[in-house]
Amino acid sequence: LGPYVWMTITSLKTLPEITRAPAYPLPQAIQLGAYREVLQAVPVMRYFANTVFMATAIALLQIALALPAGYALAKLRFVGRGAAFVLVLSCLLIPAQVTFVPVFTMLGAAGLVNTFAALILPFGVSALGTFLVRQALLSVPDEIIEAARMDGAGELRIVYLILGPMLRPTLSALFLFSFVFHYNDYFWPLVMTTDDRVRTLPLAIALLREQGTGVRWHLVMAGNVILSLPVLLVFAAAQRQLLRAVTARV
């Protein structure tokens, strides 16, 4: 919590208080002017709504696709299952930045630049999510699945209505990891967007550094406080599920 406390205190100072030496650990008087300037300098609320929508959509899409993929690798018998699992693991070693040129080219050819589809679709399939779901399903008895089949349940019903609720801690952890990562992502929105209608909050914080002749640290810190608040709320809401997922056998 130390860096967050320091960031919050700095956001409440004036610029002369921050730059003078020796520096005082606490502001002489609490100043909220930095927050007002941030809200006036960039369309924070629009960027914030865009960011939350993008991160939530990616996380939900990853969960929706990781469930059947992990189920197939854990419970179905088919030729090449081991090779498919190795392929999933190998995808964890490849950062998204490596493939951004061909992905950008394809999205540009499809006319999807400056759209939410360009921000969401490239991350819809999560190798980490598939791995987590597969590992969690290995601990689920096959008898549960066989009983559901005997009752006439199809594979999708088994995956989403029976196994999905059983994997709630794992899925909550996946949602949290995905939401936080994409909420804070700077590179991909920078590459794919130039329109305020779809730009995200990390880009707005970067704009604060570029205004003026020097870095106005009180504005940057105020922007970072605003940026981090939703992440803290998500962590607080999902803390119990996250602890259950971490302590469960994987």
The letter for the amino acid at 134 is R
In the chain, the percentage of residues whose pLDDT exceeds 90 is 46
pLDDT digits (tens, 9 = 90+) for 151-180: 999 999 999 999 999 998 899 889 988 999
Q: Distance between terminal CA atoms of the chain?
A: 29
Q: What is the pLDDT of residue 219?
A: 83
Total-model pTM: 0.85
- Model confidence pLDDT, tens digit, residues 189-243: 998 998 888 999 898 888 777 655 567 778 888 888 888 888 888 777 777 766 7
Half-sphere exposure of 148 (CA within 13 A, CB side): 16
Instruction: For 87-118, write each residue's pLDDT tens digit.
Output: 999 988 888 778 888 999 999 999 999 999 99
Q: Are 200 and 50 in contact (CB under 8 A)?
A: yes
Q: Are 170 and 245 in contact (CB under 8 A)?
A: yes
**32, 73, 186, 203 from 200: Cα distances, Å:** 23, 35, 8, 6
Name which of 99, 96, 97, 88 is nearest 128 in CA terms. Answer: 88
CA dist 218 → 3, 193, 203 (Å): 15, 27, 17
* Token representation of residue 209: 């550094």
Give the pLDDT score at 247. 64
Q: How many whole angstroms separate alpha carbon 66 and alpha carbon 129?
A: 5
Q: Is the backbone peptide bond immediately before 43 cis, with ω within 30 degrees of 0?
A: no
Domains and CATH numbers, the chain: 2-247 (1.10.3720.10)
* Interacting residues of 11 by C-beta distance below 8 A, sequence separation 6+: 34, 35, 218, 221, 222, 224, 225
- Pair of tokens at residue 49: 């709504």
